[in-house]
Amino acid sequence: MLERIERALVACNRWLLIVLLLAMACIVFANVVLRYTTGDSIVWAEEVARHMMIWVTFLGSGLVLRFGGHVAIDNLHRAVSTRSARFLRAVVVLGIAGFCVFMTYFSVLYVWATRFQTTAATDIPISYIYLAMPVGFVLMLVHLLFVARNYITAGDYAQSDEMNADAAASI
């Protein structure tokens, strides 16, 4: 059951990123074409593309973590004994989990503080854009929890036929 939930989460996360990147690319492309063919541009295109990029960054960070795509220095835990390496990896997982919880809490406060501000071109609440932060940190924590046991015991990240660390880092 838990494995099915994990697969569904990864699939939904991937498809959401794909749709957001595709929409962002189409908006930017249309804006560039209009600017060079008519001399006018879409007023809201740059702002919306920037907001989509923020969402893509935070939604993609969990997948990148899951497949080992974030920058990591792993020389120390590879140079020490197996028991010490497991301890070091457990400390790393606890540190990342603590960071995600800390950042989730403070980003929720930040979203709450910006709830009455609106964007210039589209007049939508800025809190909708900043909501990407707590959502992204919670997703990162969930992805971390799914891979933590295997990472601590063996030093391995999640494996996928479609995704590896290099592909995850390029999201």
The pLDDT score that the predictor gives to residue 68 is: 86
Averaged over 43-57, what is the pLDDT? 96
What is the rounded radius of gyration, in angstroms, for the C-alpha atoms of the chain? 19
Instruction: Please measure the distance between the N-terminal and C-terminal CA atoms of the chain and give it in whole angstroms.
Output: 28
Let me know the angle formed at the C-alpha of 72 by 70 and 76, rounded to the nearest 5 degrees.
160
pTM of the model: 0.88
pLDDT score for 19: 97
Inform me whether the pLDDT recorded for 55 exceeds 60: yes
Confidence of residue 168 (pLDDT cuts 50, 70, 90): low
Name the domain count of the chain.
1
**Mean pLDDT across the chain, nearest whole number?**
91
CA–CA distance, 66 with 165 (Å, rounded to integer)? 9
Q: What is the C-alpha to C-alpha distance for residues 14 and 30, in angstroms, rounded to an integer? A: 24
Tell me the mean pLDDT in the region 31-37: 95
Residue 61: predicted pLDDT: 95
β-partners of residue 125 are 118
Report yes or no: 38 and 130 within 8 Å, Cβ to Cβ: no
Query: Residue 76: its pLDDT value, please?
Result: 82
* pLDDT single digits (tens) 58-79: 999 999 999 888 877 778 888 8
Q: Is 1 helix (H, G, I), strand (E, B) or coil?
A: coil
Instruction: Look up the domain containing 132 and give its range.
Output: 2-169
Q: Which region holds residue 164: left if phi is over 0, alpha if psi is between -120 and 50, else beta? A: beta
- The percentage of the chain sitting over the pLDDT mark of 90, rounded to a whole number, equals 78
| pLDDT tens per residue, range 102-118 | 999 999 999 999 999 99
| pLDDT over 70 percentage in the chain | 94
What span, in angstroms and rounded, lies between the C-alpha atoms of 56 and 17?
6
Cβ-defined contacts of 33-39 (< 8 Å, 24+): none
DSSP assignment, residue 12?
H
pLDDT range class, residue 101, cuts 50, 70, 90 = very high
